[in-house]
Each structure stands twice: as C-alpha cells, then as structure tokens.
Amino acid sequence: MAAKRIGILTGGGDCPGLNAVVRAAAKSALARGWGVTGFLDGYCGLVEDRSIELCDSAVSGILARGGTILGTSNIANPFSYTLPAFGSPEKPADMSGRAVEVFKKHSLDALIAIGGDGTLSIGLKLIKKGMPVIGVPKTIDNDLAATDVTFGFDSALAVATDAVDKVHTTAESHHRVMIVETMGRYAGWIALRAGIAGGGDIILLPEIPYSRQALCGAVHSREARGKHFSIVVAAEGAVDEAGEMTVASTVKGSTDPVRLGGIGYKLAELISNNCSSETRVVVLGHLQRGGIPTAYDRWLATRFGAHAAELVARGGFGRMVRLAGTDVNDVPVEQAVAHLRRVDPAGEEVRAALSVGTSFASSTVK
C-alpha cells in the first residue's frame, strides 16, 4: 500500500470520549505506517494551518482524559468564517478554498472530522468540494439520526443522573420542588433518561410541549398524595404549548447561533407563583461536558476511531461511522445529517416512564 497521511480534527462542543477517538484513529493509522496530522481548534486549524504531529507518544495516556488534546471550536465554519484571522461576525468570509489548500499542503489522503451535526454538515460541504472526509459522530445530545448512540452521551447522562439522585435528599428534607435543567438542545434524550434513571417525578422535553396548568397540577397531585416534594427534570429545549423555547443568547457566526438556557428559572417562577412548595433550581450546564468518559464511551469511541481508520484504508470516503445495534459500520455523511434523532412522544421509553407514574405535564401525553 502506498504511504498515506491523514488529518484529524475535533469540532463543535467538547465532550468526554474525544481523546479516545483521536487515540484510536491515530494508533490504527500509525500501525499501518501512515503519518497523522492533528488540526488544532476544529476547523480553525484547517483554515489557519495550525496543526501538530500525532505520533505514538502524543496520543499515549489520553484514553481516559476528558476534553480534546486538539482543542475545538463551535463557531469555526470555513464557509462562513467569522474568526479574526480571516473574517469577523459582521463580515464573514468564505475560506473553504483555503481549507482545501491547507489539506493539500499537508499531502493528506483523508480528513477524519469528529463532531456533531454542525461539524459533519461542514464536512459534507467539503466532500462536495472534493475533499475525502470521514465523519465520526460526537454529541452529548445523542441527536444524530444515523447512529443508535453518539459517544459523549453516556458520560453526560451519568452526570445528569447523579445530579437527580443527589437533589432527592435535599428536596425531601425541605419539602421543596427541585428543578434539574439538563442540556440536549432540540432533543430530550438526556432529560428523559436521567429522569427515568433518577426517579424524576416530572420530565419536560422539547418533543412533548408542556402545559403550565398540567405542570402545576402534577405538583398539586403529589402534595395531595402526601408527597411534599417533587423532582422536575427539564431539558434546556423544553417548549410550552405555545411552542416557546427559552433562549439564553445568540452567537453570530455559529452553525447554530441559538444558545438555549434558563428554562429552570422560568419554571421555578411559575411553580412558586401557583403552588405552595418552595422551589430551587440546579442548572447542570457544562458539568455534563466535563470530566473523564465512562467506560461505555471509551469503548464506543475506540471502536469508532478504529473503524474510521479502516474506512481510510479501503477508500470509504464521504461516510460516517455509526453504531447499529451492537455493530459498528458506516453510512453516507449526507444520510447522517439529514435530520435530528429526537424522542418519540409515543415511544416505548415515554410509555415506560408514564407507567411508573412519571408526568410529562402534557395535555396530550398522559
């Protein structure tokens, strides 16, 4: 086989397991005699030509480390570049041609792009410009439709579940309503599964619009049954029946400029004004992105990285690694980013939660 050199970058928000993928892809490539270039800070490194050599010592000992040794960015888009080197939020620049030039300058045969829907959507555009890209699905939100699970999700779920477990004691001691606000953007997977695993009494999701009357009614119902505390697990993207999300801010130049957040405090005000219970809020935020990856995420990320290198070896460009059942295989990147994977309001997981008495504070899902 002719000598090869591959590039690797990590884009979008950080999460546990990124280093495990970098390690597995790099080690698999090095074992084949290939060279490996790691681009720094996501697509910034590809546009601005900032990189490091990923030799064996560079990826040694990083399996259990959180974050990414390569750095990342969730606003670097080569097709609408707003960072100071070549653009600004007021005047974005199309730097995709330069990204292709940098790719060629390093004599690369493939680019492994590790990220969520934003990173992979950019990867798809680069594929259409002729760059041989392979995608690896990463997001704590678990919202990529073409894979059963994304790495990073299990670690975030463990943090959220632990938080729900911990607030039970203080809620019960003080007879309070405790609201735990999770991440997840437009998908409710973290809130749903942490709520089920942690015994949440009320779960609010983007996919199941909540009724303010039903929410307060659920709290009143528990009080009437002698349950003088309630645990509410609310996804940051939860919507009311008017379809309104709670937006914390917007970020110009990002592939998804909307930053959700604040639903917990909004709900606390509603409950405090309509129920007798004292209410407190715990916003987990970036705690869900930090720390060491779970064993499951290390296992999954290692398999994903190894399969990405295998795709390079057989020329399977334009494809994304995925988990299907217990098998790791691959699908076209175009299929992977076609739509988001969201909770099915009529699905088995929701029905299971309902069967044990969990409320979704909905006038339609009961």
- How far is the C-alpha of 207 from the C-alpha of 241, rounded, in Å? 11
> How buried is residue 212: exposed, middle or buried, by Cβ count under 10 Å (0-12/13-18/19+)?
middle
Residue position matching structure tokens 């992979």? 120
* 141, 143, 154, 240: the active-site residue: 141
DSSP letters, 240-273, are BTT----EEEE-TT-SS-EEE--HHHHHHHHHHH
Q: Kindly give, in sequence order, each residue whose CB lies less than 8 Å from that of residue 14, ignoring residues fewer than 6 positions away.
A: 66, 67, 68, 72, 289
Written as six digits, the tokens of 280 are 């407190």
Contact between residue 186 and residue 180 where contact means Cβ atoms under 8 Å apart: no
Contact between residue 29 and residue 309 where contact means Cβ atoms under 8 Å apart: yes
| Residue 183 vs residues 77, 199, 221, 266, 282: alpha-carbon distances, Å | 23, 18, 28, 16, 12
DSSP letters, 271-307, are HHHHSSSEEEEEE-GGGGT-SPPPHHHHHHHHHHHHH
Written as six digits, the tokens of 205 are 């999701």
Task: Tell me, yes or no, if 49 is annotated catalytic.
Answer: no
Alpha helix positions (H), the chain: 18-31, 43-48, 96-105, 117-128, 153-174, 189-198, 212-224, 263-274, 295-313, 333-336, 348-355
Q: What letter represents residue 31's amino acid?
A: A
- How far is the C-alpha of 125 from the C-alpha of 63, rounded, in Å? 30
- Which residues are catalytically annotated? 141
